Amino acid sequence: MSDNPLVFDRSLARLRLKRALAAGYPDFLLARATEDLDERLAAVLRRFERAADLGTALPVARAALLARSDTLIRMAETPDGNADLVGDLEALPLAPASLDLACSLLALHGVNDLPGALVQIRRSLRPDGLFIGCLLGGRTLNELRQALLEAEIATTGGASPRVALFADLRDLGTLLQRAGFALPVVDSEVVTVRYGDMLALLRDLRALGWTNALVDRKPGALRRDTLLQAAQLYAERFADPDGRLRATFEIVWLSGWAPHESQQKALRPGSAKARLADALGVPERGAGS
């Protein structure tokens, strides 16, 4: 496990998620992620014996996972009536080598110890088991982050963190390798959602349970003048020609396999049996040529 300081108040985040689920959690981003999951799993030409959905807020991945596995366990971080067990992504209640497929949609960006969570997922997989999941990436809500930061500095003379900084694409590939996954793959997709005004975006974030749960947040709500200034800045800088405002969500996909002797392995340096120049049909030149 890592020694990183706490970033998120996980108890508060779970409480807000519980309230959001009770009030009718909107699934527009999860629906998009579920479609992508189905397409990505369709490219894997094998069936899995035992699968688990880890921390996804709604049971939307059930059909896609059951279409490719014999049994499915759904672990929720907040009781919702549809989970097989309730657990914590930072302390998975799973035995080592107990799964053949592990999935998590739009949940892992909220953990404090992402390296440790990935290590635990890796340990839960049997050899040649697959992990596939997605989380919010670094470009998510950049517009809102900028508007709130500048507005708070302008109206109060200082600022506190209001929107989390999410992991960068390059860092996530390194984390998969550090966690022991073979054949790691990381890619991202930017989803742009448009709103009539900034307040509509904030209402959606509240409905998702994604309001500020940073440990270093300033207590209390934003001042009214700060909120109005942020809304004005957002409209001035991030409006489309029709006046609607853009909100960016970067969805980063991760996949990796538990190591197995049957998997492809990189050749040792110097072990190639053919020259690149021959393959390209060009003369070979020395490094100084």
Separation in Å, CA 92 to CA 56, 122, 126, 246: 14, 11, 15, 36
CB hemisphere CA count around 210 (13 angstroms): 24
pLDDT computed for residue 54 by the predictor: 98
pLDDT band for position 268 (cuts 50, 70, 90): low
- In this structure, is residue 252 part of a structural domain? yes
**Least-confidence region, from 127-136, 142-151, 199-208, 259-268:** 259-268
Separation in Å, CA 143 to CA 28, 137, 140, 275: 19, 14, 8, 49
Give the DSSP H/E element, type plus range, for residue 128.
Answer: strand 125-136
Per DSSP (E only), the strands in 137-181 are none
pLDDT computed for residue 216 by the predictor: 87
- In this structure, is residue 284 part of a structural domain? no
- In this structure, is residue 224 part of a structural domain? yes
Residue 166 has pLDDT above 60, yes or no: yes
pLDDT band for position 239 (cuts 50, 70, 90): very high
Neighbours of 47 (CB within 10 A): 11
Do the beta carbons of residue 223 and residue 143 sit within 8 Å? no
Q: Which of 259, 95, 111 is nearest to 172 (CA)?
A: 111
pLDDT band for position 70 (cuts 50, 70, 90): very high
pLDDT, tens digit, 9 for 90 and up, residues 90-117: 999 999 999 999 999 999 999 999 999 9
- In this structure, is residue 3 part of a structural domain? no
Residue 168 has pLDDT above 90, yes or no: no
Q: How many domains does the chain have?
A: 1
CA 117/CA 178 separation, integer angstroms: 12
CATH of the domain at 155: 3.40.50.150
φ, ψ for residue 179, nearest 5 deg: -75, -10
Overall average pLDDT of the 159-166 stretch:
87
**Least-confidence region, from 47-56, 116-125, 147-156, 213-222:** 213-222
Token pair 């930072």 in the structure block, residue: 90
Which pair of structure tokens corresponds to residue 47? Answer: 């069936």
How much is the mean pLDDT over the chain?
Answer: 90
DSSP conformation class of 219:
S
**Global pTM value:** 0.87
CA 284/CA 128 separation, integer angstroms: 40
pLDDT computed for residue 145 by the predictor: 95
pLDDT computed for residue 185 by the predictor: 96
CA 91/CA 187 separation, integer angstroms: 26
CA 97/CA 95 separation, integer angstroms: 6
Which pair of structure tokens corresponds to residue 35? Answer: 């479609």
Question: Whole domain around residue 150: which residue ranges?
Answer: 10-259
Residue 55 has pLDDT above 80, yes or no: yes
CA 195/CA 43 separation, integer angstroms: 34
pLDDT band for position 1 (cuts 50, 70, 90): very low
- In this structure, is residue 270 part of a structural domain? no
pLDDT computed for residue 5 by the predictor: 76
CA 185/CA 97 separation, integer angstroms: 21
Do the beta carbons of residue 153 and residue 126 sit within 8 Å? no
Helix (H, G, I), strand (E, B) or coil at 192: strand
- In this structure, is residue 266 part of a structural domain? no
Helix (H, G, I), strand (E, B) or coil at 287: coil
Residue 204 has pLDDT above 80, yes or no: yes
pLDDT computed for residue 221 by the predictor: 79
- In this structure, is residue 268 part of a structural domain? no
- In this structure, is residue 265 part of a structural domain? no
Would you list the DSSP string of 14-82? HHHHHHHHHH----HHHHHHHHHHHHHHHTS-S-EEEEEEES-SSGGGHHHHHTTEEEEEEEESS--SS
pLDDT, tens digit, 9 for 90 and up, residues 170-187: 899 999 999 999 999 999
